């Protein structure tokens, strides 16, 4: 039985469709439409906003300062996605080819952090990376050890260890985003690899290709849809990240979400914030359009 035409049972169709449609229209499309309208408005006085149809907010958003912030957000999100892919791919491979007994537990190991509160995870990382945190203490201990070994062989000891600033800079933002988004990457990769026909890998190995070559030439092309899904699932939230750059970044590591927040909480320039929000949404649409275009291109192989 194929899909049923809605006219054949109008009552059921209405019962199923109306609550959802109502919710989506009133509590999603309407709020988005308000943001869209505001983005063409101007501030008149402290709370009054006039919808004058001006494009000034968009003009201001294309000023050099905001373009660099957009560019930087893209660069950070792309870097985070790449690092997650490099770290996550072997993990997904290991889970796929793990024994029946181990696989669910490895999956659970990846999923549990995904279910843990984002704020708590960011806070935990901040504790470790602080100047007094364990990351610095560990490096300090290594440094002391090296220094001690050098004196043993009769060389000058190293200068005393100075704690490194690991928090409140761009490094911390990338590190924090990788930490938060890694499970997002591993799960779709695993889903794709799990569906792979293993005999193809075996054939490749039998025919004399090495493991690395088999992975690059057989596994990666076949798992491409899953890799792209993982990339999108990581890239999109990383691009709109607010909490990590806010808590772990320095004054120069703001991303676009932090600038948007400032328009609403401090600068009180709602129309400009609305314009920035919509530019970010358009950027997401472009990313998704690119992804769906790639799907339609037939495999050249």
**Residue 289 touching other proteins (CB under 8 A):** no
**Residue 124 touching other proteins (CB under 8 A):** yes
**Residue 200 touching other proteins (CB under 8 A):** no
Nearest residue (CB) to other proteins, 30 versus 155: 30
CB 130 within 8 Å of CB 138: no
**Residue 126 touching other proteins (CB under 8 A):** yes
**Residue 167 touching other proteins (CB under 8 A):** no
Q: Tokens 């704690």 identify what position?
A: 163
Q: Tokens 């190995």 identify what position?
A: 205
Spell out where 45-195 has E strands. 48-50
**Residue 282 touching other proteins (CB under 8 A):** no
Find the binder of other proteins among 45, 53, 64, 99 (CB under 8 A): 99
**Residue 209 touching other proteins (CB under 8 A):** no
CB 102 within 8 Å of CB 227: no
Write phi, then psi, for 146 (nearest 5 degrees). Answer: -60, -45
**Rounded least distance, CB 81 to other proteins, Å:** 15
**Rounded least distance, CB 155 to other proteins, Å:** 32
Find the binder of other proteins among 28, 52, 67, 150 (CB under 8 A): 28
Find the binder of other proteins among 198, 266, 296, 301 (CB under 8 A): 198
Find the binder of other proteins among 69, 78, 106, 139 (CB under 8 A): 106
The residue range among 153-161, 165-173, 179-187, 223-231 that interacts with other proteins, by the rule CB under 8 A, is: 179-187
Find the binder of other proteins among 50, 59, 71, 104 (CB under 8 A): 104
DSSP 196-260: S-HHHHHHHHHTT--HHHHIIIIIHHHTHHHHHHHHHHHHHHHHT--HHHHHH--TT---HHHHH
The residue range among 108-116, 148-156, 159-167, 220-228 that interacts with other proteins, by the rule CB under 8 A, is: 108-116
**Residue 30 touching other proteins (CB under 8 A):** yes
Distances in Å between the Cα of 148 and the Cα atoms of 137, 141, 202 are 16, 10, 51
Q: Is 31 helix (H, G, I), strand (E, B) or coil?
A: helix
Q: Tokens 């090296």 identify what position?
A: 146
Element of type H or E holding 44 = strand 42-44
- Site string (242-281) toward other proteins, x via CB under 8 A: xx---x---------x--xx--x-----x--xx--xx-xx
What gap in Å lies between CA 35 and CA 51, rounded to an integer? 11
């Amino acid at each position: 039985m194929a899909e049923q035409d809605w006219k054949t049972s109008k009552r059921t169709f209405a019962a199923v469709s109306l609550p959802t449609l109502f919710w989506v229209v009133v509590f999603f499309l309407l709020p988005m439409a308000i943001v869209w309208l505001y983005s063409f408005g101007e501030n008149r006085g402290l709370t009054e906003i006039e919808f004058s149809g001006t494009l000034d907010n968009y003009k201001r958003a294309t000023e050099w300062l905001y373009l660099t912030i957009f560019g930087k957000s893209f660069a950070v999100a792309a870097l985070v996605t790449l690092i997650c892919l490099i770290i996550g791919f072997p993990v997904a491979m290991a889970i796929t080819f793990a024994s029946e007994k181990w696989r669910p537990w490895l999956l659970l190991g990846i999923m549990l952090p995904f279910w843990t509160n984002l704020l708590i995870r960011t806070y935990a990382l901040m504790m470790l990376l602080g100047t007094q945190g364990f990351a610095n203490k560990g490096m300090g201990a290594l440094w002391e050890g090296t220094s001690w070994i050098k004196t043993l062989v009769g060389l000058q000891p190293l200068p005393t260890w100075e704690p490194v600033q690991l928090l409140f800079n761009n490094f911390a933002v990338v590190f924090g985003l990788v930490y938060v988004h890694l499970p997002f990457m591993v799960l779709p990769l695993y889903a794709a690899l799990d569906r792979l026909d293993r005999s193809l890998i075996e054939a490749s190995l039998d025919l004399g290709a090495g493991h690395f070559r088999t992975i690059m030439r057989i596994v990666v092309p076949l798992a491409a849809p899953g890799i792209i899904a993982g990339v999108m699932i990581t890239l999109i939230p990383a691009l709109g990240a607010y909490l990590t750059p806010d808590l772990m970044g320095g004054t120069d590591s703001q991303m676009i979400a932090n600038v948007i927040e400032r328009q609403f909480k401090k600068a009180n320039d709602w129309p400009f914030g609305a314009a920035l929000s919509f530019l970010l949404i358009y950027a997401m649409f472009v990313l998704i359009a690119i992804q769906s275009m790639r799907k339609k291109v037939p495999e050249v192989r």
